[in-house]
Amino acid sequence: MGRYVIRRLLQMVPVFFGATLLIFLMVNVMGDPIAGLCGERQCDPATAAQLRKEFGLDKPLWQQYATYMGNVFTGDFGTAFNGQEVTELMGEAFPVTIRLTLVAIVFEIVIGIALGVVTGLRRGRPVDSGVLLLTLVVISVPTFVTGLLLQLLLGYKWDIIDPSVSTDARLDELIVPGLVLASVSLAYVTRLTRTSIAENSRADYVRTAKAKGLPRGRVIRKHLLRNSLIPVVTFIGTDVGALMGGAIVTERIFNIHGVGYQLYQGILRQNTQTVVGFVSVLVIVFLVANLLVDLLYAVLDPRIRYA
């Protein structure tokens, strides 16, 4: 197990550098970031040259990336164009988005897996058809439509929630935004769990367990559910990073100043330091989540061992 973890950690290194380099290049080819610092008027050549030198934009692109990555490994993610340290922006944004993501993951696990188990055990019955139709509708409707609809109904028409989240972003305020963020993934988890349960319920080991006279609940929990959850755990593990990085729409709708909001502002202002810094942390989150998922396989299925 230890050798496997070390090997996976070493594999993360080129992935991390490759992802950050790609984002660094993409942000730099979007346009001239200095042009946006002078407002609607163009910067005069002297001011533009001074700003380029101040932010290190007068150097070759490869040297900018090498300098930036060298600073990252010392904990320095640079300074945004507004003069604020990127680490300060991260300290404000990541706790909010982490809370929002945790709420979304809880919805995926509790509601998605529960509905998947119920429909998988009742395949072909009315409850199965109804849930499949509902999940298809959720997948078909864009997230911004779902978010705006819930905000209009619950926030303005029925006055159940505040239309926008406060700066504190309390956990109770993030329930509806978390549901919106998790809606599409929740539907996929439900369908994936349902398919896996339905397939494994006809497997030989399940029929053997029933033939031994084991209680139905124990067969489902100990045998059927553990083996059926492997593909579901894979999806949820990879979805953690996707939810954190893809929260831009949800955070814009509910005025949440999290990672998505900062990424949107950074892309809008072509702020390389902010965008690459946030994406670098998201890449690390994604890689660690995938490693934990791989290790969790051995817990769910004792037959899986890592040499």
Query: Does pLDDT of 96 surpass 70?
Result: yes
Phi, psi of 161 (to 5 degrees): -125, 165
302: exposed, middle or buried (C-beta count within 10 Å: 0-12, 13-18, 19+)?
exposed
Query: Among 85-89, 109-113, 217-221, whose mean pLDDT is lowest?
Result: 217-221
Q: What is the predicted pLDDT for the residue at 106?
A: 92
pLDDT range class, residue 21, cuts 50, 70, 90: confident
- Helix (H) / strand (E) element for 70: namely helix 61-72
Sequence-separated (6 or more) residues with CB below 8 Å from residue 88: none
Tokens of 10: 């070493």
Q: Span 111-132, mean pLDDT? A: 88
CA distances from 137 to 107, 110, 185, 188, 249 (A): 18, 20, 13, 12, 19
Measured in whole angstroms, how far is the alpha carbon of residue 209 from the centre of its chain? 38
Query: Does pLDDT of 98 surpass 70?
Result: yes
- Cα–Cα distance for residue pair 9/146, rounded to 1 Å: 38
Q: What is the predicted pLDDT for the residue at 1?
A: 63
Local structure of residue 221 (DSSP, 8 states)? I
- Model pTM score: 0.79
What angle do the packed helices 226-245 and 86-107 form, to 10 degrees?
A: 150
Q: Span 110-126, mean pLDDT? A: 88
- Cα–Cα distance for residue pair 171/101, rounded to 1 Å: 11
- Cα–Cα distance for residue pair 202/142, rounded to 1 Å: 35
Q: What is the predicted pLDDT for the residue at 28?
A: 72
CA angle, 273 as apex, 272 and 278 as ends, to 5°? Answer: 100
Query: Does pLDDT of 307 surpass 60?
Result: no
Query: Does pLDDT of 39 surpass 60?
Result: no
Phi, psi of 79 (to 5 degrees): -125, 135
CB atoms within 10 A of CB 207: 12
Q: What is the predicted pLDDT for the residue at 107?
A: 92
What angle do the packed helices 272-300 and 226-245 form, to 10 degrees?
A: 170
Q: How far apart are the first and last CA of the chain?
A: 6
Query: Among 10-19, 43-52, 176-185, whose mean pLDDT is lowest?
Result: 43-52
Mean pLDDT (the chain) is: 80
Q: Span 22-33, mean pLDDT? A: 73
Q: Is 216 in contact with 225 (CB distance < 8 Å)?
A: no
Q: Is 101 in contact with 243 (CB distance < 8 Å)?
A: yes
- Cα–Cα distance for residue pair 120/73, rounded to 1 Å: 48
- Cα–Cα distance for residue pair 240/143, rounded to 1 Å: 17
- Cα–Cα distance for residue pair 266/81, rounded to 1 Å: 9
**What confidence tens digit (pLDDT) does each residue in 135-178 have?**
999 988 888 888 888 888 888 888 888 888 887 778 888 889 99
Q: What length is written for the chain?
A: 307
Q: Is 92 in contact with 259 (CB distance < 8 Å)?
A: no
**What confidence tens digit (pLDDT) does each residue in 273-284 have?**
788 888 888 888
Q: Which domains does the chain have, with CATH numbers?
A: 92-268 (1.10.3720.10)
Q: Which residue has the higher pLDDT, 58 or 258?
A: 258
Rounded (to 5) percent helix, strand, coil in the chain: 75, 0, 25
